[in-house]
Amino acid sequence: MTHILLEKKDHVAIATVNRPKALNALNSEVLNDLNTLLDEIAADPEIRVLVLTGSGEKAFVAGADIGEMSTLTRTEGEAFGKKGNDVFRKLETLPIPAIAAVNGYALGGGCELAMACDIRLCSDTAVFGQPETGLGITPGFGGTQRLARLVGPGMAKQLIYSARNIKADEALRIGLCNAVYPAEELMPAAEKLAETIAKNAPIAVRACKKAINEGLEMPMDEAVALEEKLFGSCFETADQKEGMQAFLEKRRHDPYQNR
């Protein structure tokens, strides 16, 4: 991977989009690297949480690469949108949780990348936005869909139609991010949350992600039926037995073994 740095700390993977001279903008090479990263993460049973951030102090990901997009034909534009959407769906459906540590500009494709993660933590210098209508296009990597689901259709339409950027405090107020930290505290906070999640039973955490993500797209009766199956699937695992036995014996559970 040319444009992604990967660090592993116990059961947490920290991936950094590393194209700082272009404010970490997403071109085809970066999308290919993200795709490779997600395949590697999914294939590694030791990784239980992914933290995704951007290099430098200015940007998480400032957007898709305008230079690459500017000369695309209609057919090429649709193909580029599909390329980004395929990668972001792979991130969204990654079995383990993903935390976006948004350390600066998260515009266009950067905002869409953050929204494909499960949780968004940001620095007080973060800026979110979908500026595409100001460039003569629509959001192309899922922005029209995920933003509406996160903040509601009315707010999403306002932000997308106006192409207006918002700062961290407003992103927090409307529910686009989960928490705001001083810049120097962002990565420690993201890693602490990731470590907290990683200490819980991995089979159960993955089942919770599946239940929430898939259940949101179902009628309630189908969604609770999905939950029942996933709930049942946790029983008879070694981690469930240890967790409940430790509770009954009033002791700390042993480290979960993901089995």
Q: Helices 74-92 & 28-43, crossing angle to 10 degrees?
A: 20
Element (H, E) at 144: helix 143-151
Helix axes 238-248, 202-215, angle to 10 degrees: 110
Residues with a known catalytic role: 112, 132
- Closest-CA residue to 53 (of 4, 97, 88, 108): 4
In which element (H, E) is residue 127 found?
Answer: strand 127-129
- Tell me, what amino acid is at 10? D
**Alpha-carbon dihedral 158, 183, 95, 259, rounded to 10 degrees:** -150
